[in-house]
Amino acid sequence: MGVVSPAIGAPVDRIEGGDKVRGEATYAYEYEVERVAYAAILQSTIARGTVRSIDAADALALPGVIAMLTHENAPKLQTDDGELSILQSPAVAYRGQIAGAVIADSEEAARDAARLVRFTYEEEKHDVELRYDHPGLYKPDKINANFDTDSTAGDFDAAFGSADVTVDETYTTPAFHNNPIEPHATIAVWEGGDLTLYDSNQGAYAVQQTVAGAFGMQPERVRVISRHVGGAFGSKGTPRPHLILAVMAAQLVERPVKLAVTRQQMFSLTGYRTPTIQRLRLGAGADGRLTAIAHEVVEQCSTVKEFAEQTAVATRMMYAAANRRTTHRVVRLDVPTPAWMRAPGECPGMYALESAMDELAIACKLDPIELRVRNEPDVDPETGQRFSSRNLVACLREGAERFGWNAREAGRDGRWLIGAGVASSTYPARLTPSTAHARAESDGTFTIRITASDIGTGARTALTQIAADTLDVPLERVHVEIGDSDFGQAMLAGGSIGTASWGSAVVKACRALRAGQDEATVDTSDDVNSYEPLAKHAFGAQFVEVNVNVDTGEIRVPRALGVFACGRIVNPKTARSQFIGGMTMGISMALLEESVIDPRFGDFVNHDLASYHVASCADVREIEAIWIDEEDPHLNPMGTKGIGEIGIVGTAAAVANAVHHATGIRIRDLPIRPDKLLSRLPSGGS
């Protein structure tokens, strides 16, 4: 065998790219199934109350309509997940909640019939507004990812009270909706007591386990297929209520059922990022060295399920300070349940922290980068563990040189004010057990099977590269199959854990083949537990230039740069896409995105992409991402850290800091809309 060039580190094109361009990649709703029926979702039109009667006569009389599913004929579920316990009673917990479904021979007939169903309600007073002083605020037992709800170290109050320089500000973020291009969709097929689901999700194994539990089935009797996913951003990380509805509908009519959530329905049925109210208090000496940090968070969840985002967790490890406090408080409102959205916790939390750090730098008359460097910790301030690797300072300095930071000055070009901002970014480097199967084929090729999910990240390609390098063969001799729960337990595509977890299993399986086996099925449970307990995180620095129009308040981002330290980069081409995709979402978060709730009827008033605005090419002229080569042997066999989420972290703060630098105006409540600037901008040509 000749010398094979390393695949890891090569800018390999997406393995499935050709299939997608040719329209040959099959997504969840596109599978051909015989005798398929179609379901259209019925939603509640009140925010709180009870269904008293249902008039479906006109709907059922339409040609092609097969049946209607409501709480009156729905099967009983065996789940304690309140969000998934749909149609188990006539109670309404939020506007847009699933109240039933119409099933018909065609999608058009189902939707037409759905418009004719009439519900009568007994309506109750609802509460949908998050407030810092809400009487219903409480301390949850744990927050997302099983973190402690609060943390304390030292004596924050005393240290803050005696600090030379202090910052005490409140920052708010609105609700954000994930809005992947492919809607949430499912085909449910019952056959002889077995269930097959063609579903758009971030983890087929997790869906299998949840659905089996909800319907009282053995997991092996549920198969979930999800080979291609058209975006997710966290919203497809766990099964959503529509999936349970599709299974129920197929059970009722004894036919396969297709169900796709509309764009409008996604605003109430597929999750969103909770709005946050965050109070940041920083105390420092005159030299800018932090002596006290407090980060107190207020957020919301629904009345049917608790979800508490870990918004202040990054503050626990980001900067050195002997006296620290973080808290999370949640209130149950008559709203849909929040869920994961790209970089949960770190994304909204670092917006507040990094904005406050910028304010502290100004108060201390220090350069914002110098302030961060002075507060660089030697070990994790929260746990005392040493970092497996931490190259935040290197990212800041490399970015400063490339961006021209040292020459930054607030300026003006005609009617445009010019400024630049910086912020740090971080995300944990995690690893969880996964199973992989590898087989040597008779034609000299190799087949790898693992229940991974490619949500647009290039996971299929990265795993092919990892397998090829481990087997020491060219890429074209490796065939990776993913997105099928039959392949066994595996981590879902979320939390920036996928490549590390799946790749570790693939390496182990391929090593078994190199050791002489023709076929091997392995899991990494023992391997994952064997790693040293270190603080493992990726780090980065975001640099943004903004132009602000003094007449309109319009904000443009002519250039943005992200510099990252994320272990070993498997594929530079797909990695760059992930970094700049996250940065674009962060800019969009800062300037445009906002889900607005109307307290009168308890629902979001913007529920499509015409009224929920996201960044386009016109909003960002030049965006670039680079990374620092980072050797970290403590992570996994590949030496990788997750890259899917860190790009968004810190970006919104960098934009806000740049706007302040340009205008002298500090906007602490996102998004930074023109109307928030106009009344405070210089006028009359000044």
Burial 284-300 (b: 16+ CB within 10 A, else e): beeebebbbbbbbbbbb
Which secondary-structure segment (H or E) carries 294?
strand 290-302
| DSSP, res 220 | G
Q: Which is nearest to 266 in space by CA: 130, 131, 175, 174?
A: 175
Helices and strands, number each (H, E), in the chain: 17, 28
- Sign (positive or negative) of CA dihedral 316, 321, 324, 326: negative
Neighbours of 182 (CB within 10 A): 18
Active-site annotation holder among 182, 296, 594, 645: 645
- Rounded to whole angstroms, the Cα distance separating 45 from 48 reads 9
Q: Which is nearest to 184 in space by CA: 221, 238, 144?
A: 238
Do residues 169 and 280 touch, judged by C-beta distance below 8 A? yes
The encoded tokens of residue 227 equal 């080979």
| DSSP, res 450 | -
- Rounded to whole angstroms, the Cα distance separating 344 from 213 reads 26
The encoded tokens of residue 350 equal 């670092």
Do residues 58 and 116 touch, judged by C-beta distance below 8 A? yes
Outline where 150-262 has alpha helix (H): 156-161, 204-214, 241-253
- Rounded to whole angstroms, the Cα distance separating 63 from 74 reads 23
The encoded tokens of residue 284 equal 């420092």
Residue 469 CA: distances (Å) to CA of 160, 337, 441, 636: 53, 43, 17, 15
Q: Which is nearest to 96 in space by CA: 266, 259, 245?
A: 266
β-strand 151-153 against 185-191: which pairing, if any? Answer: unpaired
Q: Which is nearest to 129 in space by CA: 121, 138, 137?
A: 137
The encoded tokens of residue 619 equal 């909003």
Which secondary-structure segment (H or E) carries 67?
strand 65-69
Do residues 282 and 167 touch, judged by C-beta distance below 8 A? yes
- Rounded to whole angstroms, the Cα distance separating 197 from 186 reads 7
The CA-based angle 24-206-339, given to 5 degrees, is: 95
Residues 6+ apart with CB under 8 A from 233: 178, 179, 180, 341, 342, 585
Residues 6+ apart with CB under 8 A from 659: 419, 421, 546, 548, 555, 665, 667, 672, 677
The encoded tokens of residue 409 equal 């000055």
The encoded tokens of residue 686 equal 């000044």
Instruction: Give the chain's radius of gyration (CA, Å).
Output: 26
Do residues 473 and 608 touch, judged by C-beta distance below 8 A? no
Catalytic site includes residue 398: no
- Rounded to whole angstroms, the Cα distance separating 589 from 582 reads 10
Residues with a catalytic annotation lie at: 645
